Amino acid sequence: MPSAFNFNASPFDCLSQDERHLVRASVDIAYFPEGAVVLDVGVAPTHLFVIIKGYVTQTEGDEVLATYGPDDCFDGCGLMTGRVGSRFVATEEVVAYQLAREAVNELIARNTTFGALLFSDLGQKLSALAQRADRHELQSLTLARVDQAFLRPAHTVDAGTDIVSVVRLFQAQRTTNVLVTGLPGGLGIFTNTTLQRAILDGRPLDQLPVGDLASVPVVTVRPSDQLGDAMVLLLRQRVHRLVVVEDSGEVRGTLEALDLFSFLANHSHLITVQIEHAQDLPALAQAAAQITRLIAALHRGGTRIGLMAKLVQQLNARLFERAWTMVAPPGLVDNSCLFVMGSEGRGEQLLKTDQDNGLVLRDGYTAPADLDAICQRFSEVLASFGYPECPGRIMVSNPDWRDTVAGFGQRVRQWLLQPEGDSLMQLAIFLDAHAVAGDAALLAAVRDGVAALAVDNDAVLARFASAVENFGGPAGWWSRLFGLGDEGRAISLKKAGIFPIVHGVRSLALARHVFATGTADRIAALVEGGALDAALGDELVQSLHFLMGLRLKAGLAEIDTGRPVTGNVDPERLSSLERDLLKDALAVVKRFKALLHQRLRLDVL
């Protein structure tokens, strides 16, 4: 056995030294001329093949399932089942290692990660990957439990306790808050900030019950929750502390914002504070510039993609809200709802992308005469923050994306029931709408009107969903992974996988009257309603987050080298593991497209 076996390629990079010795002692070299059948349907495989040189194509009938190149291995699934389910043909002259089945079985028995990476579906592979000691995921503090951070003791008083007694407790226990029991709405909280209201109340403090001023209800987390999720909750609820409560109802303590952010030390709290305290647009611009740096730090730390996207959504929403209140007069802010769409609306944006926003006005409200200038100014401000203007003009600066509740309701109804031109594309964009400033009830009223419509026109649903076929299928992308296609080398992950998942799920959600905006939330609702298999739903979420992570990695590399940010991947820079996972993700996309064809009758278009 030659000593050149590449143990840096997946799944062999997780083997111990003894396990590597086993591989070296059990492997031979095989040669296959161009056109040779390496494995055929129905045979009982005796070896796992690892390609040294050349390419092998996996087919079922006339359909190409995958292409394998140097450092890729096949057919692990055939070894596991004892029967090959596809045909493997040498696309060009192939030299490969062949590892005996007995050795593979022993490696699986010794090393569960090796087995998971070799045989499992995408979700299990990513789970196994997360458990490897040399990966950053386990080092990410955002994955730590809440009870691993510093929890301050909880001090409790009855709602009838007077304010003077509470202040004495503050001083004696060196605390700034107490939990208040005996309130109609459940557990409450009184803090030193609320003390100012007590002083201004006018009643004698030794006669003023703390329950009259306590905030109800408190925002709670469980000790087993992840700190990253607790951080998102703090940002969303705009509170300074969380009460940690066991499932039994017992209070474990309080998690202060400063303690949490000191533990995580990723500066997201500092960005929030910077946004909140900004007095002008230049100060907001400085905060906006910090968001990309935060994403890069979180990515290096191995933070989950779903969590990162939620954090970015919360930070961007607050940034946009503050910018809008600086540009728009108070009367306009109070009588309108500024909303975002696209990946920002779904909570799936990481790096800054084109603006996608609109404005719903209250029925009967007379907008300022300079509304157009105000909205144009807002779009220019976001562009100065690093959010480019939308080439399709889907922005508040475009009058087509400003209307009253009634006007938007009529427009959305027409998009859905009388589609023409690009109306279905506009409907798809609007279905991702998420309120960020003003009166969110105005956008909710429009969405409620959409929810009340009966979407039972198969032709309309099929046309709406057919956009998933606008780009090439997985076989074409796999060929490009190995430079076998005629197109450019860069692969658009958005076209290859992200858009088909997002729009396919959006289409099923529309058909089933699911009006969540995030793709993962839509999938959860579809699974709960029986419209989507739970296993496929999990694979779709895993695939989406993997593709988003790969795209983020490529985009950060482009930023570091001063190139325009596309998020497209260069196949030559992908590791064998990344290629393996990418093929798995694209296989999930392919199966999902087949389901869409069946459910929404795309083949009849």
For 280-323, the pLDDT digits (tens) are 899 899 888 888 888 887 777 677 888 889 888 888 999 999 99
Written as six digits, the tokens of 352 are 């800054």
Residue 310, both tokens: 């939620």
Q: What is d(CA 311, CA 408) in angstroms, rounded to the nearest whole number?
A: 29
Of 130 and 383, more confident: 383
- Mean pLDDT value of segment 196-218: 92
Polymer length of the chain: 605
Q: How confident is the model over 23-51, as pLDDT tens digits? A: 999 999 999 999 999 999 999 999 999 99
Q: What is the pLDDT of residue 262?
A: 62
What mean pLDDT is predicted for residues 144-157? Answer: 86
One-letter amino acid of 345: G
The predicted model scores a pTM of: 0.70
Judge contact between 316 and 385, C-beta under 8 A.
no
- Contact (CB, 8 A) for 243 and 219: yes
Give me the mean pLDDT over the 86-107 stretch. 92
pLDDT of res. 487: 47
The mean pLDDT of 152-175, rounded to a whole number, is: 92
In the three-class reduction of DSSP (H, G, I as helix; E, B as strand; rest coil), residue 303 is classed as coil
Taking only the tens place, the pLDDT of each residue in 417-454 is 877 778 888 999 999 999 999 999 999 999 888 877 75
Q: What is the mean pLDDT of the chain?
A: 86
pLDDT at 139: 44
126: confidence class by pLDDT, cuts 50, 70, 90: low
Residue range 227-237, pLDDT digits in tens: 888 888 887 88
Assess contact for 40 and 87: CB atoms under 8 A: yes
pLDDT band at 134 (very low <50, low <70, confident <90, very high): very low
How does residue 128 score in pLDDT terms, banded at 50, 70 and 90?
low
The pLDDT of 553-580, averaged and rounded, is 83
pLDDT given at position 478:
53
Q: How far apart are CA 280 and CA 328, in angstroms?
A: 13
Describe the chain by its helix, strand, coil percentages, rounded to 5.
50, 15, 35
Burial class (CB in 10 A: 0-12, 13-18, 19+), 164: middle
Would you call 387 helix, strand, or coil by DSSP?
Answer: coil
Largest CA distance in the chain: 95
What pLDDT, on a 0 to 100 scale, did the predictor assign at position 125?
Answer: 63
Domains of the chain: 12-119 (2.60.120.10), 146-264 (3.10.580.10), 268-451 (3.30.460.10), 458-604 (1.20.120)
Over range 212-223, report the average pLDDT. Answer: 93
* pLDDT-based confidence at residue 146 (cuts at 50, 70, 90): confident
Phi and psi based region of residue 479 (left: phi greater than 0; alpha: psi -120 to 50; beta: remaining): alpha
What's the pLDDT score for residue 82?
A: 84
CB 114 within 8 A of CB 14: yes
Strands 357-361 and 402-404: parallel
pLDDT band of residue 479 (cuts 50, 70, 90) is low
Q: What is the mean pLDDT of residues 95-110?
A: 91
DSSP per position, 179-230: EEES-TTS-EEEETTHHHHHHHH-S-TTTSBGGGT-BSSPPEE-TTSBHHHH
Of 478-487, 524-533, 541-550, 566-575, where does mean pLDDT reach its minimum?
Answer: 478-487
Q: How far is CA 265 from CA 227, 233, 257, 293, 523, in A?
A: 12, 17, 12, 13, 33
Which residue would you say has higher pLDDT here, 596 or 2? 596
| C-alpha–C-alpha distance, residues 485 and 506, integer Å | 31
